[in-house]
């Protein structure tokens, strides 16, 4: 596909509209003291989050987070040692990863939840022999 001047102008307009809709990153740093990535925004607000809560950063060591770079538009942060990007609009909307990754994280947290009802149900299920085994293809005849 050949790009025309009209295509480029339209893309530039979309970029400007998006840039105007969200604050941009002015600086990014990893604060070892609180173990958080801290992004200072053009609004004066600082956003801090634990690397384990962001897709691509969940297994990062502090040294991996020290040389983060702000994208030219100011709407992204890149971590070269991890080849990972964080979207400022996504961060502000509460998404630190793809939809599937976020759903998996929510399910993981839900599975860690404890309650009296969950404990009672688990004990009752255990008394019944636990979860039934899956039938293997050789068992079905």
pLDDT tens by residue, 91-141:
877 765 566 766 676 666 666 667 788 788 888 888 887 777 777 777 665
pLDDT band (50, 70, 90) for residue 45? confident
pLDDT beyond 70 at 28 = yes
Q: Exposed, middle or buried, 46 (CB in 10 Å: 0-12/13-18/19+)?
A: middle
CATH superfamily of 23-98: Uncharacterised protein PF10387, DUF2442 (3.30.2020.40)
Q: Would you kindly state where each structural domain of the chain is located, as residue ranges?
A: 23-98
Residue 51 has pLDDT above 80, yes or no: yes
Contacts of 109 (CB under 8 A, 6+ apart): none
pLDDT tens digits for range 104-115: 766 666 666 677
Write down the pLDDT at residue 107.
66
pLDDT of amino acid 122: 80
């Amino acid at each position: 596909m050949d790009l025309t001047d009209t295509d480029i102008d339209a893309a530039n307009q979309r970029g400007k509209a998006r840039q105007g809709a969200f604050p941009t990153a002015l600086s990014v740093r990893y604060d070892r003291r609180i173990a958080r990535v801290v992004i200072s925004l053009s609004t004066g607000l600082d956003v801090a989050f634990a690397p384990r809560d962001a897709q691509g950063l969940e297994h990062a060591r502090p040294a991996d987070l020290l040389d983060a770079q702000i994208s030219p538009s100011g709407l992204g942060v890149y971590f070269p040692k991890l080849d990972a990007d964080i979207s400022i609009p996504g961060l502000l909307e509460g998404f630190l990863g793809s939809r599937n990754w976020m759903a998996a994280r929510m399910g993981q947290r839900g599975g860690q939840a404890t309650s009296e009802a969950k404990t009672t149900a688990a004990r009752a299920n255990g008394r019944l022999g636990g979860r039934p085994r899956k039938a293997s293809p050789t068992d079905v005849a």
